[in-house]
């Protein structure tokens, strides 16, 4: 006890002395500061030194594999060890991985980390990679990668076997296509006529310098039989050719007429060159709809090879060829070999048979389509023909047209043809039927009439005094189309008092200005624009197989905007396909159908694996009584003599029951666009009724340009031939003069609409 007490006392004394000395030594002792106690000694010790551990090696492995999945080879290379970078360049790593992806037809990979083994400076990560091959399906391999610690980070030791075990010792992969693959499947019209097919073809052309037209009557006839040109047209082409110029005439199946081909080949001035590729028949029927294929470009080769393509294949670029790429191409099969460093097969990675492509049948009629293209050939513009009660597209023409065979480099004619297409300022590849966006002009008055009737502010008995001018907007004077006639002939009178249906029949501008202004001032500022959207304008139609644009339906911001919209001008933009859809809906009783261009998809054995049906998308937002009023007024446009409809002179003697509306829409680039939109009501079992929309760009009056073209389309459909010459034709399909006659309805646009 004594000893313990003595020790305790000595400790207390020592502690007391320490507490006196320590603050002095630290220069921090003040009388008011507490004496340190054992509980805060830790604050006086040096800070603890913490060591940083590197991240788990599997995190680096995951980053490496994630970069592979994304195709970021540079990021993969950055994760290699320094010794690996010395031995392997980024180019060699990329080449190895591309070999797997391209020759293995691997479109993507997935992976799974299995395990991780660590020691202080080295690691091993085991993982499983699944290769998704277009040829072999899914292949899985389990592998291990070695890692080392460099400057606190794990880095990977590169060896091709960490990408695929079969690549050990400098080996590589190679794909050998199955020769039983039958090539790209065909595209047909609704009747089974070929539009595009893989076949042996001939390119035909002529060197004009070596043609004596006085002695070449037989030659011209032969050339015409293999092209879309008449003999006299070919003679003109030869006469007007530049010295040394080559004229491509057309392409045809090699077995179309062997005897005539042999005769052609005997002419020294003629080229008859055979090739075996994609052929578009008749130099391109509905090329804007069917589309075309062309050679694979270098910058897309890797991606396409990962889907089983080879460099010599062709790929769809436009229209159905693009939309149906996978359907038409099928899946070429073959064997994927493992090659020695010397390029000799040492093993098979796997093999698979080819899966044939499937044919696509369209809704168009080839012969009708070809003639519809001719009907518009003198103008830039478009024609759309729909089955009125189903939405099926029977013809879709965009002018100018082009020969899709121009994109096949095995075709002797391709260079000249493609140069003509690329250098044509009229942009012949542009699909004006589905992508052209135009003001609609007076055809839009159908929608304005619908909006007025549905508002309850106008009825069939509402009247308006239609004079030369419209003066309801303070400080603004707008004009009727009759004013321009009066300025020219000094005789044309204004239409006078008209009911609303009569206003549509006569296309009276002031009547529709009044509706637009009245609705806007009544607070119904979006009544017309919402009605337009209800008619399907301002949005995509949803058509499959062809590219399209949505157009634009603006909401008016002022009374002037409202009057402008009421006659289809201002910022309103529509596509001919959209117009055809709502015109068909008016004709069929109100059903808006999705335009349909694909009829069915069929295997090479003839089995239908998918059949497309009519698809009703919506109903026009109209009471039946109001829709019937519009239909009666549209019937009056080509049929009414009192008041005389704007298309009466051009269409009243057509032996088909039709309804429609003319339109003349101002364009900022020249003359107005000519419109006519209408439908038939024949109710024939053998000929379903159709809706037809015509636009001729910068061509003049709708009543004098578009209406005759509409008539021609109706004649072609119901009578299978044209019956009445255009005023600008000397004979059918032959223009009388270089510039078609353009006469009269006057433009709905006003010179001061946008001051």
Residue range 442-460: mean pLDDT, rounded: 98
pLDDT, one tens digit per residue, over 526-574 is 999 999 999 999 999 999 999 999 999 999 999 999 999 999 999 999 9
Last residue of a domain, one of 284, 306, 336: 284
CB atoms inside a 10 Å sphere around CB 565: 26
Give bridge partners of residue 331 from the DSSP assignment.
Answer: 355
Residue from 304, 388, 308 nearest 659 by CA: 388
Residue 135 is part of which domain span?
Answer: 57-169
CB 162 within 8 A of CB 156: yes
Residues 135 and 244 in one domain: no
Q: Kindly state whether residues 157 and 208 are assigned to the same domain.
A: no
Structure tokens at 63: 């980053």
Least confident of 43-47, 217-221, 370-374, 557-561: 43-47
- 425 inside domain: no
594-599 average pLDDT score: 98
C-alpha distances in Å from residue 331, one per residue of 317, 322, 326, 430, 652: 18, 16, 8, 31, 55
Q: Both 197 and 164 in a single domain?
A: no
One domain for residues 162 and 194: no
Give yes or no for a contact between 598 and 320, defined as CB atoms under 8 angstroms apart.
yes
Return the structure tokens found at 547: 């590219």
Last residue of one domain, picked from the residues 108, 139, 169: 169
Say which range, 24-38, 517-531, 674-688, has the weakest mean pLDDT.
24-38
Q: Please say whether the beta carbons of 137 and 108 come within 8 A.
A: no
Pairing of strands 314-316, 469-470: unpaired
630 Cβ partners below 8 Å, 6+ apart? 446, 449, 450, 453, 504, 586, 622
Strand partners, 295: 314
- Both 165 and 202 in one domain: the answer is no
For CA atoms 562, 565, 570, 572, the dihedral sign is positive
Bridge partner list, 118: 123
Tell me if 99 is assigned to some domain.
Answer: yes
Number of domains the chain contains: 3
512, part of any domain: yes
Domain-embedded: residue 326? no
Nearest to 270 by CA among 218, 314, 316, 320: 218
- Tokens 């530049």 belong to residue: 242
Q: Is residue 95 domain-resident?
A: yes
In a domain, residue 372? The reply is: no
Mean pLDDT within 121-146: 96
Averaged pLDDT for residues 585-593: 98
Cβ neighbors of 266 (< 8 A, separation 6 or more) are: none
**pLDDT higher at 230 or 696:** 696
Give yes or no for a contact between 147 and 125, defined as CB atoms under 8 angstroms apart. yes
Which residues are CB-neighbours of 751 under 8 A, at least 6 positions away?
Answer: none
Residues 523 and 601 placed together within one structural domain of the fold: yes
SS3 670: strand
- Report the CATH number at residue 198: 3.90.1310.10
Question: Is the per-residue pLDDT at 36 higher than 60?
Answer: no
- Reported as type and span, the H/E element at residue 13 is helix 2-26
SS3 77: helix
What pLDDT shows up at residue 574?
Answer: 98
Average pLDDT taken over every residue of the chain: 90
Note the pLDDT of residue 47.
52
Query: Looking at the DSSP assignment, which residues form a beta bridge with residue 618?
Result: 592
Q: Is residue 196 domain-shared with residue 165, that is, in the same domain?
A: no
pLDDT 10s digits, 67-81 = 999 999 999 999 999
Q: Is residue 541 part of a domain?
A: yes
pLDDT greater than 80 at residue 583: yes
- What are 390-402's pLDDT values in tens digits? 999 999 999 999 9
| Residues 537 and 628 grouped into a single domain | yes
Read off the CATH number of the domain in which 535 is found: 3.40.710.10
Strands (E) across 616-752 are located at 616-619, 658-667, 670-680, 690-696, 729-731, 734-735
Helix (H, G, I), strand (E, B) or coil at 125: strand
Q: Please report the pLDDT score of residue 133 as a whole number.
A: 96
Specify whether 98 is located in the same domain as 208. Answer: no
Greater confidence (114 vs 120) lies with 114
What is the residue-wise DSSP string for 545-586? SS-----B-PPPSSHHHHHHHHTT-TT-BB-HHHHHHHHHHH
User: With 70 as the cut, is the pLDDT of residue 5 above it?
Assistant: no
Q: Is the pLDDT of residue 21 over 60?
A: no
Is the whole-model pTM more than 0.75? yes
Residue 510 sits in the same domain as residue 623: yes
What CATH number has the domain bearing residue 81?
3.10.450.100
Q: Do 336 and 173 contact (CB within 8 A), yes or no?
A: yes
Domain co-membership, 165 together with 194: no
Among the three residues 134, 169, 204, which one is the final residue of a domain in this structure?
Answer: 169
Residues 75 and 195 in one domain: no
Domain assignment present for 379: no
């Amino acid at each position: 006890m004594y000893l313990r007490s003595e020790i305790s006392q000595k400790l207390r004394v020592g502690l007391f002395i320490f507490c006196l000395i320590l603050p002095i030594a630290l220069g921090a002792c003040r009388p008011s500061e507490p004496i340190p106690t054992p509980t805060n000694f830790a604050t006086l010790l040096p800070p603890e030194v913490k060591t940083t551990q590197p991240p788990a090696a599997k995190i680096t492995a995951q980053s490496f594999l994630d970069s592979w999945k994304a195709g970021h080879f540079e990021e993969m290379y950055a994760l290699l060890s320094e010794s690996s970078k010395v031995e392997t360049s980024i180019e060699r790593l990329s080449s190895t991985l591309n070999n797997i992806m391209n020759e293995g037809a691997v479109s993507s990979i997935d992976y799974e980390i299995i395990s991780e083994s660590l020691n202080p400076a080295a690691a091993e990560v085991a993982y499983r990679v699944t290769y998704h091959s277009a040829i072999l399906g899914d292949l899985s391999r389990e592998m291990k990668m070695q890692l080392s610690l460099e400057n606190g980070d794990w880095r990977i030791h590169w060896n091709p076997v960490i990408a695929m075990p079969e690549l050990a010792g400098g080996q590589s992969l190679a794909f050998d296509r199955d020769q039983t693959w039958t090539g790209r499947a065909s595209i047909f019209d609704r009747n089974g006529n070929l539009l595009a097919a893989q076949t042996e073809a001939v390119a035909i052309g002529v060197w004009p310098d070596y043609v004596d037209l006085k002695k070449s009557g037989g030659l011209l006839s032969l050339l015409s039989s293999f092209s879309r040109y008449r003999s006299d047209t070919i003679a003109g082409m030869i006469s007007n050719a530049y010295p040394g110029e080559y004229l491509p005439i057309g392409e045809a199946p090699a077995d179309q007429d062997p005897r005539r081909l042999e005769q052609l080949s005997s002419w020294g001035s003629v080229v008859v060159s055979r090739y075996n590729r994609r052929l578009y028949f008749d130099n391109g029927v509905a090329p804007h709809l069917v589309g075309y294929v062309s050679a694979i470009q270098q910058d897309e080769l890797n991606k396409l090879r990962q889907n089983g393509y080879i460099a010599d294949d062709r790929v769809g670029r436009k229209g159905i060829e693009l939309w149906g790429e996978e359907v038409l191409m099928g899946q070429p099969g073959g064997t994927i070999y493992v090659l020695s460093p010397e390029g000799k097969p040492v093993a098979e990675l796997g093999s698979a048979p080819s899966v044939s492509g499937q044919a696509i049948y369209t809704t168009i009629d080839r012969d009708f389509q070809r003639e519809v293209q001719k009907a518009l050939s003198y103008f830039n513009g478009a024609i759309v023909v729909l089955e009125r009660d189903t939405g099926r597209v029977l013809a879709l023409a965009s002018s100018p047209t082009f020969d899709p065979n121009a994109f096949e480099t095995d075709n002797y004619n391709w260079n000249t043809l493609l140069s003509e297409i690329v250098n044509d300022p009229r942009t012949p590849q542009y699909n004006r039927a589905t992508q052209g966006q135009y003001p609609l002009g007076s055809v839009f008055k159908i929608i304005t009439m619908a909006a007025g009737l549905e508002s309850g502010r106008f009825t069939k008995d509402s009247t308006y005094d239609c004079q030369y001018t419209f003066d309801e907007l303070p400080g603004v004077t707008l004009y009727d189309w009759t004013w321009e006639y009066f300025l020219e002939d000094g005789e044309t009178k204004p239409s006078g008092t008209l009911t609303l249906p009569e206003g549509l029949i006569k296309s009276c501008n002031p009547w529709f200005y009044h509706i637009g202004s009245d609705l806007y001032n009544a607070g119904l500022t979006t009544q017309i624009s919402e009605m337009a959207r209800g008619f399907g304008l301002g949005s995509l139609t949803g058509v499959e197989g062809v590219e399209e644009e949505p157009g634009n339906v603006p909401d008016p911001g002022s009374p002037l905007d409202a009057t402008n919209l009421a006659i289809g001008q201002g910022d309103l933009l529509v596509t001919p396909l959209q117009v055809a859809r709502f015109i068909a809906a008016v004709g069929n009783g109100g059903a808006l159908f999705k335009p349909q261009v694909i009829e069915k998809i069929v295997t090479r054995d003839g089995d239908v694996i998918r059949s497309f049906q009519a698809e009703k998308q919506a109903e026009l937002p109209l009471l039946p009584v109001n829709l019937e009023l519009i239909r009666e007024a549209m019937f009056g446009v080509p049929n009414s003599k009192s008041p005389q409809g704007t298309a009466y002179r051009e269409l009243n003697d057509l032996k088909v029951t039709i309804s429609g509306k003319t339109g003349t829409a101002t364009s900022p680039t020249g003359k107005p666009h000519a419109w006519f939109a209408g439908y038939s009501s024949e109710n024939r079992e053998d000929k379903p009724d159709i809706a037809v929309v015509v636009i001729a760009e910068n061509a003049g009056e709708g009543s004098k340009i578009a209406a005759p073209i509409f008539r021609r389309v109706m004649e072609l459909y119901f009578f299978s031939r044209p019956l009445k010459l255009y005023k600008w034709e000397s004979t059918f399909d032959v223009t009388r003069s270089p510039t078609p006659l353009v006469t009269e309805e006057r433009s709905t646009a006003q010179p001061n609409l946008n001051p």
